[in-house]
Amino acid sequence: MTSQWPRHALVGWALTLLGAGTAGSAGAACAAGAGTAGEHAPTALLVFAAASLSDALEEVDRAFTARTGVHVNASYAASSLLAKQIQAGAPADAFFSADLAWVDYLEERGLLQRGSRREVLGNALVLIAPADSPLRLSITPGFDLAAALAAGRLAMADPDSVPAGQYARAALTKLGAWQGVSERLVRGENVRAALAYVARGEAPLGIVYRSDAQAERRVRVVGVFPEDTHPPIVYPLALTVRARAPAARFADFLTSETARQIFTRYGFAPLPTRRDGK
């Protein structure tokens, strides 16, 4: 299930990163909600997961709990923010990122368990519009995205920090469309924020993952970005150095047939099981 306390704790950890808070008080609050290592087996694991995973992972978490009796609390945000929270001391058991770079970031700092990293899912990058929009676009080199926007703006996750935005910028750059729209963006703090701008009609077009578009009835896909226009979209999972014992069972469950079927239904593409990028 979605955890209640991590939403507040994320703010505390962010303040810590800015020097405006203390890790001690946040850590105490976390301990009260999640238990401490060395005590009895945890009643709930804490998973930090990319915002785009929220719908599918909630169902996977329930299936894992039904099978094992171990509950899962998940906190969803941009992968970049979650990685910084873990670096600041947030007590996550596992990190489920929307790209490889932020797992690399934590691994380089010795914050992940060796041998726990695995590539779990793939996804596609799509251009969306409100469901009642008549627009259709052929996404090919030189396509005129700026003209399609008319007087509106393009919604996307922040390309300076969020994986979905970085994939989008790479694709538009490869297609020759970035320069024409780079000053006409509505930047979301994560990909679900970008999705919401289009769903509410506040932006005529947006770039999100296929799984996001599938989760929102108020939008429709008007074009799919070719795979060769951006780096492969890969969702890796890794356990943190402070992960408690059931976390390994959870990691294994993510590649089970049960989980793979759930992820597929939500628009993800389960990958062959690979650990440590091998």
pTM exceeding 0.95: no
Q: Cite the residue boundaries of each domain of the chain with CATH code 3.40.190.10.
A: 5-121+234-275, 125-229
Q: What is the 3-state secondary structure (H, E, C) of 47-112?
A: EEEEHHHHHHHHHHHHHHHHHHCCEEEEEEECHHHHHHHHHHCCCCCEEECCCHHHHHHHHHCCCE
pLDDT of residue 274: 61
* CA neighbor of 145 nearest in space, from 218, 234, 212, 229: 229
CATH class of 5-121+234-275: alpha beta
Would you call 206 helix, strand, or coil by DSSP? strand
pLDDT of residue 12: 45
pLDDT of residue 19: 37
**Pair 30, 73: CB distance under 8 Å:** no
pLDDT of residue 266: 97
pLDDT of residue 41: 53
Say how far apart CA 53 and CA 51 lie, in whole Å. Answer: 5
CATH 3.40.50.2300 assigned to 125-229: no
**Pair 79, 209: CB distance under 8 Å:** no
What is the mean pLDDT, run by run of 10 residues, along the chain of 278 residues?
Answer: 46 39 32 40 86 97 97 96 98 97 98 97 98 91 94 97 97 97 97 98 98 97 97 98 96 98 98 66
